[in-house]
Amino acid sequence: MSSTAPALPPAEPAQPPEAERPAQAVVGVPAGPEGERLAAAVVEEASQALPGRAVKVVALPRQPPGAAGSHLAADGALPGLLRLGLDAGAAACAWVGGAGDPGRLGLLLGPVLDHGVDFVCASYRRAPFEGALTTALVYPVTRALYGVRLRQPLGAELALSRRFAERLAADADWAGDPARAGADLWVVTRAVEGGFAAGQAFLGPYPPYLAEPEGPPSESLARVAGTLFRGMERTAAAWQRVRGSRPVPTFGESAPLPGTGHPPGAARLVQAFELGCHDLTEVWGAVLPPATLLALRRAAREPVASFRLDDGLWARVVYDFALGHRQRVMDRGQLLRSLTPIYLGWLAGFVAECGGQEPVAVEARVERLCLAFEGEKPYLISRWRWPDRFNP
């Protein structure tokens, strides 16, 4: 199913009829019972956000969010979208998960159509303690690995230039298994590797259609960390060459939303960490070096009021778990779930430090965390290359 937005003004007689003109952008939306209504709404959005530009909207089937351990909402739909975009001769392709603010399409497609950006990752304005897994894990790891400061790299919505779409379509991974290749961090890494201009667009508050039901933290962590670690394995050759990080062009209002209500309490998070230290030491011992285990035990003895888990320690723990995931030292699900108490421990320190602070101060704290992950990257590279020899 497809619809086309009203395009260039009728005052220009040289223009061919609307149906014959090639689309400048192809926008994919999820197919389903609401697919037709959604496509019509997005056509309306496009006519307001990109006046005078022909935008084709197509509804494409995709896997449900989170299927097969993935996080990218465009999973399974991206190959079809790119094929349609390339066939239509479009300058840009985009994927959106639902109907939203009309300005959103302009923010998503504008950088590609007007600013020469090849890959736009959608981000959203969120309160400091929303998307804690992205803050604690996904953003710092992606930034340290691939050197691009994409605040929400596992974005559920995105836009690509034709140049980048052609490169993706010609990729050997894509030819082998497009659905799998297009998932996870694959698109981000291909953009970084290929020297394509990556950017991010803040599309406003987190849209309700992307909100997933908040399950147990261990399940969410296992899913997100699994996605991240699988991406690390596939792109090991690429990220080992990257040093430092650079900002990317950012569009839209990026300031986080202020927190509402009472700041979260850290006591129960610390208790979860202490329980993990008491019971899971043996499991952690399969992946963590003795020095790290000792540091975790020391941290567990700290009183709740002054409890903090050092950023460098947290970064090393994440890198060690990534290595354990790669080496399959135990069942991967068990391994990733066993990371939960340490994650909650780091989160306890984070909420204790940032509770009640201004969003700007919270972002400064996140910046320090990212620098710690970048600082520990040589440790990851050493352990990744020589897992048996380099074991401090």
Partner 1 sequence: MWERTQTILARSLERALESLLAVLPGVIAMALVMGLSLLAALGVRAGVRRALTGLAFDRRCRQWGFEGLLDWSPGGSPTALLSRLGFWLVLLGGAALALGALGGATAGGLARKLLDWLPNVAAAGVIFVAGLFAARFLERSVLVNAVNLRVRSGRPLALGVRWLVVVLAAAMALEHLGIGGTILSLSFGILFGGIVLALSLAVGLGSREAVSRTWERRIREAEPRREAGQEEEAEDEVRHL
User: Residues interacting with partner 1, by CB under 8 A?
Assistant: 127, 129-133, 212, 214, 216-218, 220-221, 224, 259-265, 267-269, 271-272, 275-276, 279-280, 282-283, 286, 327, 329-331, 334, 337-338, 340-341, 347, 351, 388
Comparing CB distances to partner 1, the nearer of 80 and 128 is 128
Amino acid identity of residue 194, one-letter, is G
The helix or strand, by DSSP H or E, that contains position 201, with its residue range, turns out to be strand 198-205
Comparing CB distances to partner 1, the nearer of 40 and 210 is 210
Between CA 244 and CA 143 the distance in angstroms is 8
Comparing CB distances to partner 1, the nearer of 2 and 271 is 271
Comparing CB distances to partner 1, the nearer of 85 and 217 is 217
Kindly state the tokens that stand for 19: 């149906």
Residue 241: Cβ-neighbour burial (10 angstroms; 0-12, 13-18, 19+):
exposed
Comparing CB distances to partner 1, the nearer of 143 and 337 is 337
Comparing CB distances to partner 1, the nearer of 85 and 128 is 128
Minimum distance between the CB of residue 124 and partner 1, rounded to whole angstroms? 12
Neighbours of 257 (CB within 10 A): 15
Between CA 94 and CA 99 the distance in angstroms is 13
Amino acid identity of residue 262, one-letter, is H
Backbone angles phi, psi at 121, to 5 degrees: -100, 125
Neighbours of 279 (CB within 10 A): 11
Minimum distance between the CB of residue 83 and partner 1, rounded to whole angstroms? 30
Minimum distance between the CB of residue 24 and partner 1, rounded to whole angstroms? 34
Between CA 300 and CA 227 the distance in angstroms is 29
Tell me which residue of 242, 236, 237 sits closest to 323, measured CA to CA: 236
Minimum distance between the CB of residue 301 and partner 1, rounded to whole angstroms? 18
Minimum distance between the CB of residue 344 and partner 1, rounded to whole angstroms? 9
Helix, strand or coil for residue 49?
Answer: helix
- Could you please report the per-residue DSSP string of 318-377? HHHHHHHHHHT-S-HHHHHHTTHHHHHHHHHHHHHHHTT--HHHHHHHHHHHHHHHHHTH
CA 348 to centroid of chain Cα atoms: 23
Minimum distance between the CB of residue 275 and partner 1, rounded to whole angstroms? 6
Comparing CB distances to partner 1, the nearer of 117 and 277 is 277
Q: Are strands 119-125 and 158-161 parallel, antiparallel or unpaired?
A: antiparallel
Minimum distance between the CB of residue 53 and partner 1, rounded to whole angstroms? 34
Comparing CB distances to partner 1, the nearer of 329 and 371 is 329
Neighbours of 75 (CB within 10 A): 22
Minimum distance between the CB of residue 152 and partner 1, rounded to whole angstroms? 11
Comparing CB distances to partner 1, the nearer of 43 and 347 is 347
Minimum distance between the CB of residue 45 and partner 1, rounded to whole angstroms? 25
Between CA 108 and CA 186 the distance in angstroms is 19
Comparing CB distances to partner 1, the nearer of 85 and 264 is 264
Question: Which residues have CB under 8 Å from 212's CB, separation 6+?
Answer: 65, 66
Minimum distance between the CB of residue 282 and partner 1, rounded to whole angstroms? 7
Instruction: Please list, residue by residue across 36-67, b when 16 or more beta carbons sit within 10 angstroms of its beta carbon and e when fewer do.
Output: eebbebbbbbbbebbeebbbbbbbbebbebbe
